[in-house]
Structures are given as C-alpha cells and as structure tokens.
Amino acid sequence: MQYNEAKTYLDSFINYEFDLNKVQPNSFKIDRVKDLLALLDNPQNNYKIIHVAGSKGKGSICAITASILKEAGFTVGLYTSPHIYSFLERIRVLDRAETVKRGALFADVINEKDLCDILEDIKPIIEEYCIKKDIDRLSVFEVFTVIALVHFRERKVDLAVLETGLGGRLDATNAVESLVAVIAPISLEHTKILGDNIKDIAREKAAIIKEGTKGVIIAKQEQKALDVIEKRAKEYSIDPLVVGRDIAIELVSQEISGQSFNVTINEGKYLDLKMRLLGKHQAHNAAAAIGVVQALKKFGFAISAEAVYKGIQECFWPGRFEIISEEPMIILDGAHNEASCAILAETAITLLPKKRIVLILGFSKDKDKAAICRQLGKAVNKVVFTKAAHPRSAQITAEELKGYFPDKESFVTSNVEEALSLAKEKAGLNGVILVSGSLFVVSEARKIVGEQK
C-alpha cells in the first residue's frame, strides 16, 4: 500500500471531526474496537497504559507525562488529537535517541511506511469484520486508535499515554485497560453528546476508571465534578491523588520566557521546576503528570527526580500560548471553549501587561461564540475575525462580531492569511497578535508564519 492509497482508505471512514452534527446516540460502540483488537491479538496487552480524559489540558498532561517517561529511559507511545499539520502527529513513539528533523513539528511521529504497512495488514480484518457484523463504516478515529495500539506493540514501547478523543465512556481509547487514569479539568463541552451539566460530563469522562485501573490522578476540578470522579474511583477501591489537595503547587515566577514553580506530593518536594510552556494552568498540568509519576513509582517503575525536572523543562506542545514570532510577537493558543479562553485571557493579562493585543479569532460551528468572546474580550484591544478552511469552521458577519465586542475595533476577513496581514498592520512592531478560538485557525496561522520566515 502506498501513502496516497492509505490516506484514501482512511478518508473512506466516517470523520466526526469534520461534522459533529453527524453524531447520533448509537455512533460510538466501544465493542467494535475491542473486537478488532482481539482479532489483532490485543496489541495493547504488551505495554502499560496511562489514559487521560478531560475537557481542557488533557493533551498537555499527556505530552508532559510522556516527556518525563522518555527522560526516565522508557520508550513511550503517545496518542493525542487533534493534530496541527498532519494526522501522523497523532501517533508518536518517544525515546531519547530521537532528534528533530528540519521542518518537522515532531521527530518521532509514525512514518508513512509504518502506517501503510499496518493499514495493509489490518484492512482485510476490518473489512471482513464490518461485513460479518453488518456495520456500514467505522469512524476514522476508531481505525486510527487501532493503528496506534498496533504501532506501539511493533515499536516495543514500555508504556503508552492515550488521550481520549471525545468523552470517555464510549471513546475508542476506552477499549483498553489502563494502569493509571487521569482526569483533566472538566467544563461544559459537546453538551449535545456528553450532557448539559458538569455532573453528566464528569460521569462520561470518569468512565475511563474501570476494572484493571490501579491509580487515579484528578486535576483541579469544580466540586461537582470532583465528587463524581472520586465516587467512581472508590467504586474500584482506588484512593485518587487530587491536584490542589494531595498535590500542592506554588508558583515561583511567571515570565514570557518561561515559568518556575514548586510541587509537593506525599511529603516529597520538587523545588524550582522550570517549564517553557506558559500559564499557571500548565504548572497544574505538570503537577498532574507528577501525580502519574508517583503512581507509576508505586507500581515499580523507576523514575528519577532528574527525569521529572528535565521532562517538564524540555516538553514542547505546540499551539498552547506558543510564541512563533518576535517582531511582531505572534502567539498561538488553541483555546476553544469558555473555560480555556478564560485561562488564556488571564495568562495574557499576566504575561503581557500594558501590551496592545490584536486578537485573530476563529470558531468552530458547534462552539459557544458569545462565551468565547466574553472571556477573550477581557485581554485584547482589537479583533480580527477569520475562517479556517476546515469544514467545521464558522463564518460570522461584521455586525455579529461587533455585537460580541461592542467596545472594540473589529474586522472580518475571509481567510487566515488576510487576517494575519491586517493584524500585523493594526499591532505594529510593538504590539502582540494573539491567534485563538480554534485549533484549525491556529494550525493555518502557524504554517503561514513559518513559510514567511
């Protein structure tokens, strides 16, 4: 199978990321993934799994955890979504021998040949299974999850860190047993699918805690969510570690060049941890990753303090308050719901005092536009709206935009390149351009700025 054939075959599956309105109550059936994995000799049983669910920060927790484990000398599978440029970025194998290739976002993504070889092997199994079970089409996320788990077996990883795609209970990644489950901060999202309140969403996410799970880490949560998650953990006789209660964080410094903080866990201390990921929420994400370390050490994994320090300091996770240009300063952040935009606004106000900030804003069609604008409006001076090429991207009129930002100068553009050009004009060399609201817009902006350098 050639790479173009592989892409065409993957495109033949249902892609809910293009249109969440296609999701029906019976769209997600976890048994399909379990069946396929069984037909492939259960590749996930060859390594231990850390499973991460949540509404915001789960990708960062995955990346930080994998970075620490790599520095500890383990070979680590990392499965995350969505991607910035290529869907190959979703499947990575981290080890200390990798070096970044010129032009690559990550050095350790699955290569085209490995993807094609795996897909060629599993295609007849998928097709036969779908015929036997009278299934029209699987989702591309289900198939890609299976590819990731097979790839990790073939690369002989020691551990794999898996990020849920949507929810938890019926997510394709929940077809496997995890040694450690992590619940990142929960907020209202995908309410038509997951539920219209925090408790219901928390139940969906907490369902990754199940038979076989031995350790649970809970990030800082609203009390309603925490109660639900702790109840689930106790049903499986697990005493969870909770950030903010069992894992304490003390911020030492926050600068635009990086931050430092202390973490205390079970009377142990990590003092003056340094991180290039910006914002105090990233310190909280790192604390959750340290909770994972604590759990793994309890289960016999050797992870030194040095690995924790270096893993946190070296972790790179694009599109999260990422500075990609200095003159003018251009910052990318994929915040796309009210809670994450509130955190982004707070971070911008803290790190960019007295700076004139021009926001390049985009939305996906299913997002709460008013809530996003209400939060980001606290930190910015001018707004340039744009639309990414992705089919889920929303368009609004100049009048609608003015309604969201009545006290700010605002503009509507037709594409991201036009938005960047206008934002540069409005920001000047001393201003700041902040790109947010949609990871699709962030992805396009990152590519355009990179090509212009």
Q: 128: how many CB neighbours lie within 10 A of its CB? A: 11
> Is it the case that residue 439 has pLDDT exceeding 70?
yes
**Of 274, 269, 247, 246, the residue nearest 258 (C-alpha):** 274
pLDDT for residue 9? 96
Phi and psi (nearest 5°) for 222?
-60, 150
Q: What is the DSSP letter of 108?
A: S
Q: What is the pTM of this model?
A: 0.94
pLDDT tens, 326-344?
Answer: 989 999 999 988 999 999 9
- CATH 3.90.190.20 domain range(s) in the chain: 322-452
pLDDT for residue 453? 64
Percent of the residues in the chain that have a pLDDT greater than 70, as a whole number: 95
Residue 220, sorted as left (phi over 0), alpha (psi -120 to 50) or beta, turns out to be beta
pLDDT for residue 192? 66
- CATH 3.40.1190.10 domain range(s) in the chain: 3-314
* pLDDT category of residue 21 using cuts at 50, 70 and 90: low
- 234 vs 112: CA distance, rounded Å: 43
pLDDT tens, 46-57?
Answer: 999 999 999 999
Full DSSP string of 349-418: HHHSTT--EEEEE--BTTS-HHHHHHHHTTT-SEEEE---SSTTB----HHHHHHHSTTSEEEE-SSHHH
Please give the structure tokens belonging to residue 238: 């697990």
- 293 vs 331: CA distance, rounded Å: 31
pLDDT tens, 177-192?
Answer: 999 999 999 987 765 6
pLDDT for residue 224? 96
pLDDT for residue 100? 47
Mean pLDDT of 383-390: 96
Full DSSP string of 280-341: HHHHHHHHHHHHHHHHHHHTT----HHHHHHHHHH---TTSSEEEEETTEEEE----SHHHH
pLDDT for residue 351? 97
Mean pLDDT of 99-120: 81
pLDDT tens, 275-311?
Answer: 999 999 999 999 999 999 999 999 999 999 999 999 9
pLDDT for residue 299? 96
CATH architecture of the domain covering 3-314: 3-Layer(aba) Sandwich (3.40)
- 10 vs 147: CA distance, rounded Å: 11
Q: Any bridge partners for residue 240, and if so which?
A: none
In 29-130 the beta strands, taken as DSSP E runs, fall at 48-53, 76-79, 91-94
Please give the structure tokens belonging to residue 121: 């092997």
Mean pLDDT of 409-435: 96
Inter-CA distances, 138 with 164, 170, 420, Å? 17, 14, 38
pLDDT for residue 26? 61
Phi and psi (nearest 5°) for 241?
-95, 125
Task: Please provide the average confidence, as pLDDT, over all residues in the chain.
Answer: 93
Mean pLDDT of 425-436: 95
Phi and psi (nearest 5°) for 347?
-65, -45
Question: Is residue 82 classed exposed, middle or buried when 0-12, 13-18 and 19+ CB atoms within 10 A define those classes?
Answer: middle
If you search the block for the tokens 């270096």, which residue do you land on? 310
Higher pLDDT, 421 or 23: 421
Mean pLDDT of 118-126: 98
In 164-255 the beta strands, taken as DSSP E runs, fall at 180-183, 215-218, 241-242, 247-255
Mean pLDDT of 421-436: 96
Collapsing DSSP to helix, strand or coil, 419 comes out as helix
pLDDT tens, 191-226?
Answer: 566 777 999 999 999 999 999 999 999 999 999 999
Please give the structure tokens belonging to residue 57: 């920060």
* pLDDT category of residue 27 using cuts at 50, 70 and 90: low
Single-letter amino acid code for the residue at 23? V
Q: Any bridge partners for residue 259, and if so which?
A: 254, 275
* pLDDT category of residue 102 using cuts at 50, 70 and 90: very low
Q: How many helices (H) and strands (E) are present in the chain, helices listed first?
A: 15, 16
Q: What is the DSSP letter of 228?
A: H
Q: Which fold has domain 322-452?
A: Protein-Tyrosine Phosphatase; Chain A (3.90.190)
Mean pLDDT of 394-418: 96
Inter-CA distances, 118 with 1, 3, 111, 155, Å? 10, 12, 11, 12
Higher pLDDT, 451 or 85: 85
- 286 vs 308: CA distance, rounded Å: 9
pLDDT tens, 144-161?
Answer: 999 999 999 999 999 999
* CA count, 13 A, side-chain hemisphere, 125: 17
> Is it the case that residue 258 has pLDDT exceeding 50?
yes
pLDDT for residue 103? 46
> Is it the case that residue 22 has pLDDT exceeding 80?
no
For residues 313-343, b (16+ Cβ closer than 10 Å) or e, as one string?
bebebbbbbbebbeebbbbbbbbbbbbbbbb
